[in-house]
Chain A
């Protein structure tokens, strides 16, 4: 057991450590608000299964089900909902000995890049409280960056793990689509999203991934994990399109290239002409699926219901009017629009064709390169509100991350540098099931540059 693991496993097994831990979390939470629900006491003194993560606490994004914890999805609609069941991925981690200590904040139903779209709380970036933690897994990223948990689960539909990981200076893995069961992940865009990990280092990211993956009878789209075992020699580097990236991100990107060269990798410059189509295709497909997935919130069986309604139609209308935030309403309407009868060929079907073209565009490089490297987001963490980036610009900036979701391939965001006191990350993408290639590159880079500690971060709080 590493010192890191020793430190964390003491939290739930030694009363004085738990007390110190709660103090530490409390101090941070006043500043960053990463948790929507925090309760480390629940499993104190309980017998834990022997496993690679025994006694290690972790946090779960509040759109992933954990029995007897709330499942708010950051929405007024589900503010009071307590989950009657546990997601398979969480259950797998519990079998490995890990312990859930709380649920983290997010953009409502995972829709957003800042966590400012949460209806239930404000999350700040631990590096700069004026700035966002990123999104939609902003709560998980902030909690890991502040040292409140060694790892946290997030979900990644279009970059929702990698972008906040980059903003907060932690590692963020989006696994291959289907390798981690989606059972228990509140659906936003089913064909794109996966449960993934935000963590302090490569090793724990890998360990968590290994523990939670696996085919699940509750998820018919889940797959067995069949890696090739191949090691990385050549890295395809997306041409740095100056101007599209902020100077900070551009500088960080170049720094990573130098480190990779120094490490002895063969670098290959690649281009992806389909990149221009990623955002439109992503939003067409994601919103179409969202419009169906969110139809179940009608105020009848659970969730927010109006005080009075004359008939079922009014009940549904009022529930949604009162329960959903603007971004959610926008995406439902957009999705309903692109699916309406007579217009499917024009929007939805065309987006699916573009998706295939993007896959072919990406896959042609795998014969030459073992992994691909790309920026995560064009800028470091932006400020709250719309001063730096308005919601439309935020969507346009998703092009690098959405690619991996559209094609279903694994991708990992790795902290690369600090620029003007803000962390910046870079991401690597690999063929399906080749998460291990990502970990190889990440571990090597980690020797040069470890996930930075946010100001006020303590390795030892006791």
Chain B
């Protein structure tokens, strides 16, 4: 059998407000060629000025990936020609990237895998070419976006590993607030390197698959490629180093260019930017921006709040959701109850309204209060769902909604007794049947009482009073 090796190169757009080397807006979706200036268009005589905020984010990511942080990070020119790259070189990093030699632990199924990080380096993005019929149009809005490239060692084995890695990585950068992780909009992009070889023979000839724009495609493309290469090995064919593209319509990879056409980037030090040496103050700010990372958080949700792995998986997936969850628990709500609400009713409402947890009227205090109302017996679980709807509709606290709508549960046995009396009067035959021994009909009566009370009667009280009245 063969051994496969996968390494990833992930590019993320940093959520800095301005471009890497000028003051233009770094914003997705604006009208073409509106966020441009002489600097990002590479006019004669302009010089780059380093966006310190973006460099800070880069150090944050490198730190989160347990890299050795560079005390003196340098910039290099990477020379190659492309119509959407204004200077025809990209300012990037080569000899002293922001960080190197890191690692990250990810969960793949039930196991935890450590993936080594080769390096994390800062660079600028190119513009975008739009092909329209026999014309090619250029949009330079994206030219100069601050970009971070994370390069892993070839520690991943199959497509599923790569998919899991990307999901963990995406979650991490979102936790850190440095990238929105949106692969469709191109704010996170991935190239994958894959090689196979006989067991124990080390790395094989490398094939690169470029421009994978979803973690699902990464999995499919890699597994396809491993299969293709295995078949070639079986047939004693030589695998050549090349770059391939994933064709998502045909579910197969196709050759893009061969090694012979490989670029010579002629890296050399960027003379227009001095090396960046982070000060103690700068590094302290990096430390202060660090948050508890998703992997650690999941462990803590399980050990500290008694959630199962699946429950913790759902809660920790988004940082805001995990914060919301812990806020509810801190306010006294039961952890599993909070999980249940978030993963079902709240989720459904969010989907229906198209809102996010951050932007919806439900706050952690309101959910905690709602759960408390149930536990105190003030409302039933069923009413609680109605109350939740009202919170979304009216943006009010749950107790206020209960007051205004008269949704407080009836748990007074006297009041419930009166309702039961009416129900018994109307359903004399059913009462008689129960008395004659058909206890299955009891449920029908409970339902009638609940209906007559408009759902407000406390079910347990109904049960006990009804039993007493019917069976004596």
Task: Tell me whether A and B are bound partners.
Answer: yes
Chain B residue at minimal CB-CB distance from A85: B38
Is there an interface contact between B43 and A84, defined as CB atoms closer than 8 Å? yes
Report the stretch among A256-264, A287-295, A439-447 that lies at the interface.
A287-295
The residues of A that contact B41 with a CB separation of less than 8 Å are: 301
A172 within 8 A of B: no
**Bound-state Cα–Cα, A300 to B88, Å:** 11
Of residues 173 to 229 in A, which have CB atoms within 8 Å of B's CB atoms? Answer: 182-187, 190-191, 217-221
B87 within 8 A of A: yes
The residues of B that contact A312 with a CB separation of less than 8 Å are: 83, 136
The residue that A78 contacts in the complex, of B38, B44, B81, B86, with Cβ under 8 A, is B44
Is there an interface contact between B89 and A295, defined as CB atoms closer than 8 Å? yes
B47 within 8 A of A: yes
**Bound-state Cα–Cα, A289 to B270, Å:** 9
The residues of A that contact B48 with a CB separation of less than 8 Å are: 220
Count the B residues whose beta carbon is within 8 Å of the partner chain — how many? 30
The residue that B272 contacts in the complex, of A190, A296, A344, A348, with Cβ under 8 A, is A190
A336 within 8 A of B: yes
Is there an interface contact between B268 and A295, defined as CB atoms closer than 8 Å? no
Chain B residue at minimal CB-CB distance from A181: B47
**Bound-state Cα–Cα, A87 to B41, Å:** 16
Is there an interface contact between B47 and A220, defined as CB atoms closer than 8 Å? yes
Chain A residue at minimal CB-CB distance from B264: A341
The residue that B81 contacts in the complex, of A190, A217, A298, A302, with Cβ under 8 A, is A298
Is there an interface contact between B49 and A87, defined as CB atoms closer than 8 Å? no
A contact residues, range: 35 or more
Q: A289-B271, A296-B88 are in contact. Are A65 and B45 (CB under 8 A)?
A: yes
**Bound-state Cα–Cα, A114 to B263, Å:** 36
Min CB distance B72 to A, Å, is 15
User: What per-residue 1/0 map shows which CB atoms of B40-61 lie under 8 Å from chain A?
Assistant: 0111111111100000000000
Min CB distance B164 to A, Å, is 35
Min CB distance A347 to B, Å, is 11
Chain B residue at minimal CB-CB distance from A298: B88
Is there an interface contact between B272 and A341, defined as CB atoms closer than 8 Å? no
The residue that A182 contacts in the complex, of B38, B47, B79, B265, with Cβ under 8 A, is B47
B232 within 8 A of A: no
Of residues 262 to 301 in A, which have CB atoms within 8 Å of B's CB atoms? Answer: 288-289, 291-292, 295-296, 298, 300-301
Is there an interface contact between A85 and B43, defined as CB atoms closer than 8 Å? yes
Chain B residue at minimal CB-CB distance from A313: B81
The residues of A that contact B265 with a CB separation of less than 8 Å are: 341
User: What per-residue 1/0 map shows which CB atoms of A296-317 lie under 8 Å from chain B?
Assistant: 1010111000000000110110
Chain A residue at minimal CB-CB distance from B81: A316
Q: A220-B47, A292-B89 are in contact. Are A191 and B268 (CB under 8 A)?
A: no
B77 within 8 A of A: yes
Q: A217-B49, A221-B273, A312-B83 are in contact. Are A288 and B268 (CB under 8 A)?
A: yes
The residues of B that contact A336 with a CB separation of less than 8 Å are: 266
Is there an interface contact between A220 and B44, defined as CB atoms closer than 8 Å? no
B381 within 8 A of A: no
Min CB distance A292 to B, Å, is 5
B277 within 8 A of A: no
Min CB distance A31 to B, Å, is 30
Chain B residue at minimal CB-CB distance from A78: B44
B255 within 8 A of A: no
Is there an interface contact between A84 and B38, defined as CB atoms closer than 8 Å? yes
**Bound-state Cα–Cα, A288 to B266, Å:** 9
Is there an interface contact between A348 and B88, defined as CB atoms closer than 8 Å? no
Is there an interface contact between B47 and A219, defined as CB atoms closer than 8 Å? yes
The residues of B that contact A185 with a CB separation of less than 8 Å are: 45
**Bound-state Cα–Cα, A421 to B301, Å:** 90
A237 within 8 A of B: no
The residues of A that contact B79 with a CB separation of less than 8 Å are: 291-292, 295, 339
Is there an interface contact between A183 and B136, defined as CB atoms closer than 8 Å? no
Min CB distance A298 to B, Å, is 6
The residues of B that contact A63 with a CB separation of less than 8 Å are: 44-45
**Bound-state Cα–Cα, A190 to B42, Å:** 14
Is there an interface contact between B45 and A339, defined as CB atoms closer than 8 Å? no
Is there an interface contact between B45 and A187, defined as CB atoms closer than 8 Å? yes
B108 within 8 A of A: no
B274 within 8 A of A: yes
The residue that B50 contacts in the complex, of A65, A78, A220, with Cβ under 8 A, is A220
Is there an interface contact between A296 and B86, defined as CB atoms closer than 8 Å? yes
Is there an interface contact between B47 and A218, defined as CB atoms closer than 8 Å? yes
Q: A301-B86, A316-B81, A340-B264 are in contact. Are A73 and B272 (CB under 8 A)?
A: no
Q: List 15 A-B contacts (CB under 8 A).
A: A85-B38, A183-B46, A185-B45, A218-B47, A219-B272, A220-B273, A221-B47, A291-B266, A295-B81, A295-B87, A296-B87, A298-B88, A302-B43, A339-B266, A344-B268
10 additional A-B pairs beyond A220-B274, A301-B42, A341-B265, beta carbons within 8 Å, are A84-B38, A184-B45, A186-B44, A190-B272, A191-B271, A292-B79, A295-B88, A302-B43, A339-B266, A340-B264
List the interface of chain B (C-beta within 8 A of A).
38, 41-50, 77, 79, 81, 83, 86-89, 136, 138, 140, 264-266, 268, 271-274
Please provide the 6 A-B residue pairs with the shortest distance between their CB atoms, ordered closest to farther.
Answer: A295-B88, A190-B271, A191-B271, A339-B266, A186-B44, A312-B83
